[in-house]
Structure formats: structure tokens, C-alpha cells
């Protein structure tokens, strides 16, 4: 499994392969349906943090999705040929075409927009959970990979670290680092996944690996997020 390129081994960390399946409509008049929050996950959140579970269920996602779409459109110039909007929590893209070549062009633009939009939603989730974020696009061989990194101040000397990557096929890595306990690590992961689902992005985690040790008293580690 690819490991996170962090030059330290502080606290507990988890890394998993992640798949972010793109809900691509079959034509440009259909909606890409958003998933619901997993009932089991919601039940676990209700046991551990009932206040958060209640809050996430009542969250108004409309302005958050609108902001994510706005950011995505700015980063995908080719999406200008599409009429993209959010309706009832779903990403909707529409356009007219007269030739097969135009249709292929529209399909390519819609695919790029969907990929960017999903990662912008994930970025919004990170920001809701108080992570400062940086989004970049990197090359992995011939393919482009979207990379989201986040840093969260804890007031305890060691800041938390987040990394989510996604390639065109929807595959990537989901990782948290620098947690003081396995419990706090699991809680943050559950909140992140639940929020993503609430906003319409299903993070499918597999091959998860958690390891580490308690953070030593007096350890200081922060301001490591790379500005790009």
C-alpha cells in the first residue's frame, strides 16, 4: 500500500485505499443521484457523539454544494460548454449537441467536472471539520491525480494531518495522521465519511491499516501543510 509522504511518525495514523465512484448520468438530462448516510455509521455516531449525529442529519447542504460546484467550474475550463447546477442535492449537467464528436466532447467535460466536483465536496467536508486545506493536481505516470491535504490545529502541540487522493478511475488513498488515540482517530474518520455521504460523496474505504503510539508529552509539530 502506498504510504503518506510525511517525514515523521507521531501519534496514531490510518491509511486506506479509497474509491470515490463517480455518479455519471447516462445523458445530459439526468441527475447524478447522491447516496444517503449509511444507517450503521449514523448509529455509531449517535452512540459516540449524539450532538454531531443530530447536527449532520439536519445540515442544509444546498449552499455547501453550490460552493463546491463554483470551485469546480473555476478549475475545469472545458465545463463552460455545460449547463451545470445542483438540484435536490444532485449534480445535474445539461447540454445540446448535434454530432457524435460534440457528444464525446460533452461527455469528457462532464466527466472532468464530476471528478473535480467530488473532490471539492471532500474539501468542503475537511473545512467543516476545521482543516486548512490545499488542493493540487499531480502526475502519477501518465495519469492525473487530484490531491487534497489538510491540517487541523489541536491546541496540543501536534496538528492533525489529512490526505485524500483520487485518479480518473475514482481510486486513491484516504489517510489521517497525528492523532493522540485510536478513539479520536476513529471518531474523526466516522465524522468525515458521514459528512461526505450527507453531501453526496460516498467514500468506499478498503484495506485500512491503523498503527502508531500515543504522542509523547511536549511534542510540537505543526504548520507542515505545503502551500501550492
* 47-88 confidence digits (pLDDT tens): 889 999 999 999 999 999 999 999 999 999 999 889 999 988
4 falls in which pLDDT band (50, 70, 90)?
Answer: very low
Instruction: Let me know if residue 109 belongs to a domain.
Output: yes
Instruction: Let me know if residue 194 belongs to a domain.
Output: yes
Cβ burial 63-79 (10 Å sphere, 16+ → b, else e): ebbebbbebbbebbeeb
Residue 124 φ/ψ, nearest 5 degrees:
-60, -40
Based on the structure, what is the number of domains in the chain? 1
- pLDDT tens profile 163-217: 999 998 999 999 999 999 999 999 999 999 999 999 999 999 999 999 999 999 8
Q: Is 70 exceeded by the pLDDT of residue 227?
A: no
Instruction: Let me know if residue 7 belongs to a domain.
Output: no
Instruction: Let me know if residue 70 belongs to a domain.
Output: yes
Residue 89: what pLDDT? Answer: 84
Instruction: Let me know if residue 5 belongs to a domain.
Output: no
Residue of 123, 133, 119, 130 lying closest to 227 (CA atoms): 133
What's the domain range around 131? 12-24+32-53+60-212
Instruction: Let me know if residue 226 belongs to a domain.
Output: no
Sign of the Cα torsion 21, 135, 130, 87 reads negative
Instruction: Let me know if residue 104 belongs to a domain.
Output: yes
Instruction: Let me know if residue 228 belongs to a domain.
Output: no
- pLDDT tens profile 136-162: 999 888 889 999 999 999 888 899 999
Amino acid at each position: 500500500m502506498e504510504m503518506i509522504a510525511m517525514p515523521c511518525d507521531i501519534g496514531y495514523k490510518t491509511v486506506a485505499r479509497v474509491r470515490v465512484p463517480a455518479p455519471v448520468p447516462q445523458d445530459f438530462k439526468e441527475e447524478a443521484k447522491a447516496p444517503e448516510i449509511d444507517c450503521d455509521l449514523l448509529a455509531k455516531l449517535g452512540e459516540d457523539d449524539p450532538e454531531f449525529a443530530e447536527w449532520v442529519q439536519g445540515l442544509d447542504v444546498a449552499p455547501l454544494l453550490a460552493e463546491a460546484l463554483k470551485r469546480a467550474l473555476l478549475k475545469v475550463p472545458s465545463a463552460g460548454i455545460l449547463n451545470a447546477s445542483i438540484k435536490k442535492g444532485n449534480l445535474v449537467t445539461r447540454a445540446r449537441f448535434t454530432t457524435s464528436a460534440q457528444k464525446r466532447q460533452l461527455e469528457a467535460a462532464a466527466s472532468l467536472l464530476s471528478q473535480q466536483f467530488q473532490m471539492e465536496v471532500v474539501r468542503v467536508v475537511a473545512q467543516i471539520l476545521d482543516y486548512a486545506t490545499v488542493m493540487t493536481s499531480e502526475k502519477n505516470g501518465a495519469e492525473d491525480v487530484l490531491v487534497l491535504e489538510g491540517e487541523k490545529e489541536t491546541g496540543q502541540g501536534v496538528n492533525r494531518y489529512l490526505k485524500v487522493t483520487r485518479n480518473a478511475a475514482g481510486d486513491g488513498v484516504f489517510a489521517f495522521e497525528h492523532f493522540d488515540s485510536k478513539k479520536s482517530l476513529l471518531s474523526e474518520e466516522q465524522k468525515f465519511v458521514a459528512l461526505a455521504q450527507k453531501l453526496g460523496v460516498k467514500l468506499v474505504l478498503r484495506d485500512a491499516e491503523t498503527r502508531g503510539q500515543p504522542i509523547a508529552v511536549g511534542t510540537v509539530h505543526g504548520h507542515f501543510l505545503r502551500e501550492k
